[in-house]
Chain A
Amino acid sequence: MSDRRKANKLRRSLFTIFFMFAVTFVFISVLSLIYVLTRDTIRLNESLVVKRAVLYVAGLEVPQSGIEADTLYQERVREVKDGQGTVLYYEILDAPGGSIQSYALPVPGAGLWGEIGSVVGVEKDLKTLTGIEFIKQNETPGLGGRITEGWFKEQFRGKRWPLEVVPEGDPTGDQEFQAITGATNTTNGVKGILNDRLAKAEQAIKAPE
């Protein structure tokens, strides 16, 4: 190959490398800028997920707007933490600065695919549920994933521990809840998680730390 052609080939290769770097740099810069601009909003949204869940399980009306939800949360919910700052349980007040009307407990637990993270609300008797909300789940979409559907969650309001499962569509007593057809494992998982958590609820609330 002649010298000139070699030089051209080198120039083209260099240009290729330069081009890749330039394009990558430009795009990543733009993305980083957008990320920095939205990062706070995203973090706020993520913290709101838990707060909204607590409000929902307490039976309170959850405002659409993030700011209102946050305000309501600050007024009516008191977090009880352990020495390391992890929230052990939530006290729901009947009015801002009022007395405790119910509790909410964070509930980690095993599902089919991984954790089912939920929050469960209990009355002061620690045996009757005020509600349940799922924060994290990776169950099969369309099957186990349906635990997040309204009808499934709502049925828990007012149920008493210990819980049993009945087939979907059957009438339920105050200690029974309907399963999701085709998602037996997930449903039983939920039952196990709830019963387990509620069994230990007394210890969790009466004796923090």
Chain B
Amino acid sequence: MNSYRFRQVFKENIGINNPVFVQILGICSTLAVTNVLRNTVVMCAGLVFVTGLSNLTVSLLRQYIPGRVRMMVETLIIASYVIIVDVVLKAFIPDISRQLGPYVGLIITNCIIMGRAEAFALSNPPGLSLVDGLTSGLGYSYVLLIIAFLRELLGTGSIWGVRVLGEWWINWNIMIMAPGAFFMLALFIWVVKGNFMKEKKAQGSAPAGAPQAVSTGGKS
């Protein structure tokens, strides 16, 4: 196993093939908690853990999984790791666990994890799959951490619960609520796509990840 492959996987998952702003996958489960930075850190840690280990497990078992039950086995594996995260959180950081509520369980349906398992872990050796899982998780995490940072800062004037902006700052309540998250993510995608994806623009291709549905224009 040459380290070149590791580095390539790393670069891709963090940048060109980033799950969030390129593939637009898996935002559901974590976007809700991005109004508090601390909670986001915990969620992302959990997600990186699950993605990495489930990729590893699927890859280890890949030669034995019968075709017909492939998705069920993957789901079982992912759900198991999520349960582990949930139980550990409940035992060791209960107040954060209560704040995260059902969103920890929703890591199971996070498209990224299943996506990587199908696209990568089934056809790659365990070591590489583990790295792929971890880096996908990390690529996803840093986007959300930036969003969380901005949301908490603008919405409450504090970071990690510590007030950093003075009394003069009037909280942008909208940042704590749902629309704030949508706008922040859109802003992030706009900045990234507009500035860093000039090559895609030059080729005139549509964004990756979204289905190439034919728009039924005309009659409105």
> CB < 8 Å: which of A20, A35, A141 contacts B72?
A20
| 15 A-B residue pairs with CB within 8 Å | A19-B64, A20-B72, A23-B76, A23-B77, A28-B80, A30-B80, A34-B87, A34-B88, A35-B87, A41-B91, A46-B94, A142-B176, A146-B176, A181-B173, A182-B177
A46 vs B173: C-alpha distance when bound (angstroms): 31
Determine the chain B residues whose CB is within 8 A of the CB of A15 once the complex forms.
66
A15–B83 Cα distance when bound, in Å, is 27
CA distance A23 to B66 in the complex (A): 12
Q: Tell me if A16 counts as interface (CB < 8 A to partner B).
A: yes
Q: Within 8 Å CB of B73, what residues of A?
A: 19-20, 23
**CB proximity of B63 to chain A, nearest CB, Å:** 12
Once the chains are docked, how many angstroms separate the CA of A24 from the CA of B69?
12
Given the complex, which residues of A lie within 8 Å of B176, measured CB to CB? 142, 146
CB of B164 within 8 A of chain A? no
Q: Write the chain A residue with the least CB distance to B32.
A: A141
- Specify the main secondary structure of chain B where it touches its partner: helix
Asked if B88 and A38 make an inter-chain contact with CB atoms under 8 angstroms apart, the answer reads yes
Nearest-CB distance from B40 to chain A (Å)? 14
Please tell me if the beta carbons of A38 and B87 are within 8 angstroms of each other in the complex: yes
- Residue contact B69 to A19, C-beta cutoff 8 Å: yes
The bracket for how many chain A residues form the interface is 20 to 34
Instruction: Please classify how large the interface on chain B is, using the bins under 10, 10 to 19, 20 to 34, 35 or more.
Output: 20 to 34
User: Taking the nearest CB of chain A, how far is it from the CB of B117, in angstroms?
Assistant: 14
Q: In the assembled complex, which residues on chain B have CB atoms less than 8 Å from the CB atom of A142?
A: 35, 176-178
Bound state CA distance, A148 and B35, in angstroms?
14
Least Cβ–Cβ distance between B142 and chain A, in angstroms: 23
Q: Which residue of A lies closest to B66 (CB)?
A: A16
Residues of B in contact with A (beta carbons under 8 Å apart): 32, 35, 61, 64-66, 68-69, 72-73, 76-77, 80, 83-84, 87-88, 90-92, 94, 98, 173, 176-178
Contact of B80 among A20, A31, A42 (CB under 8 A): A31
A81 within 8 A of B: no
- Asked if A45 CB lies within 8 Å of chain B CBs, one says yes
For the complex of A and B, the 10 pairs showing the least CB-CB separation, nearest first, are A142-B177, A16-B66, A38-B91, A45-B94, A41-B91, A27-B80, A142-B176, A42-B90, A42-B91, A38-B87
Whether, in the assembled complex, A110 has its beta carbon less than 8 Å from a beta carbon of chain B, the answer is: no
- Chain B's nearest CB lies how many Å from the CB of A5? 17
A49 on the B face (CB < 8 A): yes
Q: Is A124 close to B, CB under 8 A?
A: no
Query: Known contacts A16-B69, A141-B32, A142-B35: does B80 contact A38 (CB below 8 Å)?
Result: no
Q: Please give, as numbers and ranges, the residues of chain B lying within 8 Å of A38 by CB-CB distance.
A: 87-88, 90-91
Q: Is the CB of A49 within 8 A of B94?
A: yes
Write the nearest CB–CB distance from A84 to chain B, whole angstroms.
27
A25-45 interface with B by 8 A CB criterion: 27-28, 30-31, 34-35, 38, 41-42, 45
**CB of A88, distance to nearest CB on chain B (Å):** 25
Q: Measured between alpha carbons, how far is A196 from B91 in the docked complex, in Å?
A: 35
Q: Contacts A34-B84, A45-B91; is A27 near B76 (CB within 8 Å)?
A: yes
B66, B76, B173: which contacts A12 (Cβ < 8 A)? B66
- Which chain B positions have C-beta within 8 A of A20? 69, 72-73
Q: How far is the CB of B145 from chain A (nearest CB, A)?
A: 19
| CB within 8 Å for A19 and B65 given contacts A31-B84, A182-B173 | yes
Within the complex, what minimum Cβ distance (angstroms) separates B91 from chain A?
Answer: 4
Q: What CA separation (Å) do A16 and B65 show in the bound complex?
A: 8
User: A42 near B87 (CB under 8 angstroms)?
Assistant: yes
Interface presence of A143 (CB below 8 A): yes
Note all chain A residues with C-beta closer than 8 A to B69: 16, 19-20
